[in-house]
């Protein structure tokens, strides 16, 4: 599955193709890779990789081209961003910060990082320019769907979403450390702003998931409307 991003900025076009199911060679020699992409350079404190596994951070390698291209551009600069997926296309005139947050989130979520690889279902169902509510709804829905499949396979489901909170705590730790990597490489602030806004979304799940869910609850329910399918009292339900 490949997703294309195109940024049109003042007559200049920058294009990126992200293969969501790409393979990462941990043993490859990467002599042209930037110094900040080395595994030990501001390595995430929760990273399970060692230099025996690889010399370079998979996420840093995947993002190095984007960081290089945008490192001198201000976050507030406007661009026309076009996103093409196998099913549909999106287009939005927006600040670089929003377009980059979307692209970087896709690249990070489909990387070979042992922590971020848990976001692969999100990457396969990529939604560009996602809002805070979009992020909460999609991440929770995908997590609950996984729990449903666990239930059907006889595994213990996590209906209380504790695993989702733990995952996003791990993501927050990762994002903060990765922000330190990118900070050294950037002369402008586009990449920093993109990472910070991505970090803020993860933080909202880690620290206030219940509050975020209550915020979007009105979008999911309406007490004045009867359910489309009436379930009789005592009838066997799905669970």
Structure confidence by residue, pLDDT tens digits, 24-52: 999 888 888 988 899 998 899 999 999 88
Taking the complete model, does pTM exceed 0.85, yes or no? no
- What's the pLDDT score for residue 148? 96
Give the integer Cα–Cα distance in Å for 63 and 111. Answer: 10
- What's the pLDDT score for residue 106? 93
Q: Where are the alpha helices (DSSP H) in 112-161?
A: 120-124, 132-152
- What's the pLDDT score for residue 206? 59
Token pair listed for 53:
């596994």
Q: Exposed, middle or buried: residue 35 (CB in 10 Å: 0-12, 13-18, 19+)?
A: exposed
Phi, psi angles (nearest 5°) of residue 76? -85, -5
Give the integer Cα–Cα distance in Å for 164 and 133. Answer: 16
Q: Which of 73, 69, 75, 74 is nearest to 34 (CA)?
A: 69
- What's the pLDDT score for residue 91? 96
- What's the pLDDT score for residue 232? 58
- What's the pLDDT score for residue 233? 52
Helix (H, G, I), strand (E, B) or coil at 56: strand
- What residues of the chain score a pLDDT lower than 50? 236, 238-239
- What's the pLDDT score for residue 201? 61
């Amino acid at each position: 599955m490949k997703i294309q991003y195109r940024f049109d900025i003042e007559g200049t076009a920058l294009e990126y193709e992200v293969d969501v199911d790409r393979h990462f060679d941990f043993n490859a020699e990467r002599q042209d890779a930037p110094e900040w992409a080395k595994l030990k350079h501001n390595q995430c404190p929760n990273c399970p990789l060692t230099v025996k596994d690889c010399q370079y951070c998979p996420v840093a390698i995947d993002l190095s081209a984007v960081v290089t291209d945008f490192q001198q551009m201000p976050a507030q600069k406007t661009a026309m961003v076009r996103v093409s997926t196998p099913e549909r296309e999106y287009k939005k005139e927006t600040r670089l910060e929003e377009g980059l947050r979307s692209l970087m989130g896709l690249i990070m979520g489909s990387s070979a990082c042992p922590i971020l690889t848990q976001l692969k279902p999100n990457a396969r169902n990529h939604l560009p320019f996602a809002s805070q509510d979009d992020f909460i709804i999609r991440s929770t829905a995908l997590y609950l769907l996984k729990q449903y499949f666990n239930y059907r396979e006889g595994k213990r489901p996590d209906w209380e979403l504790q695993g989702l909170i733990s995952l996003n705590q791990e993501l927050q730790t990762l994002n903060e450390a990765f922000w330190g990597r990118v900070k050294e490489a950037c002369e402008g602030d586009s990449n920093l702003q993109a990472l910070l806004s991505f970090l803020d979304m993860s933080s909202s799940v880690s620290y206030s998931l219940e509050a975020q869910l209550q915020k979007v609850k009105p979008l999911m329910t309406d007490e004045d409307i009867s359910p489309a399918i009436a379930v009789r009292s005592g009838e066997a339900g799905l669970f």
